[in-house]
Chains A and B, each alone.
Chain A
Amino acid sequence: MTGARKLGGHSFRLGYVAAVLVFIYLPVAALILFAFQSSSVPVPPFDGPSLRWFEAVFADRRMTDALRNSLLVGAASSAIATAFGMLAAYATARYGGPWLRRLQGLFLLPLTISYIIVGMGLLITLMWFQIPKSLGAVILGHAVMHMPIAIALISSQIKPDMLTLERAARDLGAKEWQVIAHVVMPSLTWPMVAAFLLCFTLSWDEFIIALLLSRFDVTLPVEIWSQLRSGLNPKTNAIGSVVFMASAVLVIFVEWIVLMKQGKQEKSQ
């Protein structure tokens, strides 16, 4: 009886997992499929495959500019978030008195605030200081939003045995900045790479802050949104597929780094 129940439970679980996966990925699959549509309406029946919409995307100046802007915003904001995140994580781990530990709570607070609140706050602040809306403002906004993630990710990788390495470096004559440059950063290379890629992925498809803080130079999600307003078009499917594939590749890369590091640790133990 237990066997039968186990079997029933097993097939139920399989079915459940399949249903969840279909629910999540069917829209994505549909999006990608109709990016290869041959006719000009992305609805069934599928009459492709054709690459004409991908050609159209890369022939569209506004799309390629938006793509370039997105790459710029992603790279710059992630670099800022990772650099400051690393310093904040290290400072709280090493000089963490009770005050700094409370401060770390403050560091992580933006995680709980929605993008629209931060976006509006930044918009008001920019207007206050009469700074025009720009890509720079978007970069700042994304850096602020994503730094907590970088802090959390890097903090979790600061291991106690790093402390002895830092001591050894100081003992051999290293100044504080040399300790950070020669010992701390090399020890945290992979967590920093992972944090950078994760921040990049989040920045890559962030919409609200990018919409509120940009004017003429827009990022890809904003451009897609403005093109969608003029109706469905396989071109938007094509650009959506590009965005999705880029995110997916980055996420898989991050996962691979994490797994690789874990495997290495297990091997050395």
Chain B
Amino acid sequence: MSRGLHLQGIEKRLGQQDVLRGIDLTAASGSYVVLLGPSGSGKTTLLNIVAGFEEADQGLVMIDDEDVGGLPPRLRPTATVFQDYALFPHMSVADNVGFGLRMHGLGKAERDRQVAEVLALVDLASFADRRIDQLSGGQRQRVAVARSLVVRPKVLLLDEPLGALDLSLRRQMQRELRILQKKSGTTFLHVTHDQEEAMSLADLLVVMNGGRIEDAGPPDRIFDSPASLFAATFVGENNVLRGRITSRAKTGTVIETALGPVKVQSEAPEGDEVYVTVRPNRLRLATPGSRAKHFLRGTVEEVTFLGTYYGLRVRTEVAPDMAFHVHSDDRTPPEPGAEIAVTAEPSAFSIIAAKAS
């Protein structure tokens, strides 16, 4: 499969601050790539560098194996869906969607045909003559996507495209974006800080922090065995323990932690100092009186009802400065103040090397 988008060694400084440091990223053509990170992580700057609104100080931007560095936005095979949509308020829906084709010198008849086609694709065929201020938020969003898709970009860039929509509409638009992406076969590069949105959309999830890529890969891999401490805590709720490897064997690795030794199935990285992570949903409340080996024993501090499960916050005597999160789908969860024991399978844990982070 060809490389739809290839970034290599991207560096960007603004004044004294490193905005982007050593960004390497390769995405297959036709994949849905999501850049996920907190504000200030450099994800929007990276998007702007791909679009050509900003230039990298160093590094290579290639689209379908062609170097697009130095080209102005209008000559790049990209199109952008802006956060506030940036629809032209003085034009109708059809004129907005047809704008790119008009700039590329297409005749009116051909333009009208393609506009009608793409409006049908986003389910807005009957809205062609509407003014922009007559549209709802979700409709504007679809017009913005249509306006960018109609010029057949090789990479469609989406800058927090769902940020202005309310939750239920956002989930619906996520599904629609996903369907549109599959139908058009275009590479999508989507920036968001919503980790749920990121996981549900991405073929390739890229977690960014402080101008670096912390982890990149399929969302399930990042969720189950994150490559960095930041990725482990930013993508979904997690429990993290620092520890030291005391024995390595084929059957598993034993790590000495503040809670005592923990047996872990996954392969151990280089070095002795590690972090052990375990998702709250992989922890089980031990049945009272059970003799099974416990992961931790502690007091329930808080119980939160979260719909399909209860979230428990547990504090231990041996490590009182840490709170642990446990999910329980039991309809009668322990009360706050209850003493509980928690177990976990060795496969529930994953290990991260404790180097820089």
List residues of chain A with CB under 8 Å of any chain B CB: 161, 164-165, 167-175, 178, 182-183, 186-187, 189, 268
Contacts and interface: CB of A to CB of B under 8 A. Distances in A.
A171 B90 contact: no
Interface string B63-79: 00000000011100011
A167 B87 CA distance: 11
Contacts of A174: 74, 99, 103
Contacts of A168: 80, 82, 86-88
B88 A183 contact: yes
A165 B90 CA distance: 11
Given A171-B74, A174-B74, A183-B88, 17 more contacts: A164-B84, A164-B86, A168-B82, A168-B86, A168-B88, A169-B99, A171-B78, A171-B79, A171-B148, A172-B74, A172-B147, A172-B151, A173-B100, A173-B103, A173-B151, A175-B74, A182-B99
Nearest to B90: A186
B176 interface: no
Among A168, A183, A186, chain B packs the most CB atoms within 10 A around the CB of A168
B268 to A, nearest CB: 47
A164 B81 CA distance: 11
A167 B151 contact: no
Nearest to A264: B133
B305 interface: no
Give the bracket for the number of chain B residues in contact with chain A: 20 to 34
B104 interface: yes
A86 B227 CA distance: 54
A164 B88 CA distance: 10
A3 to B, nearest CB: 48
Given A183-B88, A186-B90, A187-B90, A173 B82 contact: no
Nearest to A165: B86
B79 A172 contact: yes
A63 B151 CA distance: 59
A171 B84 contact: no
Contact of A170 (B73, B87, B148): B73
B73 A171 contact: yes
A173 B86 contact: no
Contact of B74 (A165, A170, A183, A186): A170
B296 interface: no
A173 B74 contact: yes
Among A170, A171, A268, chain B packs the most CB atoms within 10 A around the CB of A171
A118 B103 CA distance: 43
Interface in B88-112: 88-90, 99-100, 103-104
Nearest to B151: A172
Contacts of B133: 268
Among A169, A172, A175, A268, chain B packs the most CB atoms within 10 A around the CB of A172
A172 B86 contact: no
A169 B86 CA distance: 9
Contacts of A165: 86, 88
Contacts, number: 58
Contacts of A173: 74, 100, 103-104, 151
A178 B86 contact: no
Given A172-B147, A173-B74, A174-B74, A167 B82 contact: yes
Contacts of B90: 186-187, 189
Given A167-B73, A183-B88, A268-B133, A172 B53 contact: no
B213 to A, nearest CB: 25
A168 B84 CA distance: 11
27 contacts: A164-B82, A164-B84, A164-B86, A165-B86, A165-B88, A167-B53, A167-B86, A168-B80, A168-B87, A170-B73, A170-B74, A171-B74, A171-B79, A171-B148, A172-B74, A172-B79, A172-B151, A173-B100, A173-B151, A174-B103, A175-B103, A178-B103, A182-B99, A183-B88, A187-B89, A187-B90, A268-B133
Contacts of A172: 74, 79, 99-100, 103, 147-148, 151
Contacts of A169: 88, 99, 103
Contacts of A161: 84
Contacts of A182: 88, 99
B199 interface: no
B51 interface: yes
A262 B193 CA distance: 35
B157 to A, nearest CB: 9
Contacts of B53: 167, 171
A164 B84 CA distance: 9
Given A165-B86, A186-B90, A268-B133, A171 B51 contact: yes
A178 B273 CA distance: 59
B232 to A, nearest CB: 35
A152 B70 CA distance: 35
Contacts of B89: 187
Contacts of B88: 165, 168-169, 182-183, 186
B72 A170 contact: yes
Nearest to B104: A173
A70 B276 CA distance: 85
B99 A171 contact: no
Among B53, B87, B90, chain A packs the most CB atoms within 10 A around the CB of B90
A175 B86 CA distance: 17
> 3 smallest A-B Cβ distances: which pairs?
A172-B100, A173-B103, A168-B86
A173 B153 CA distance: 11
Contacts of B80: 167-168, 171
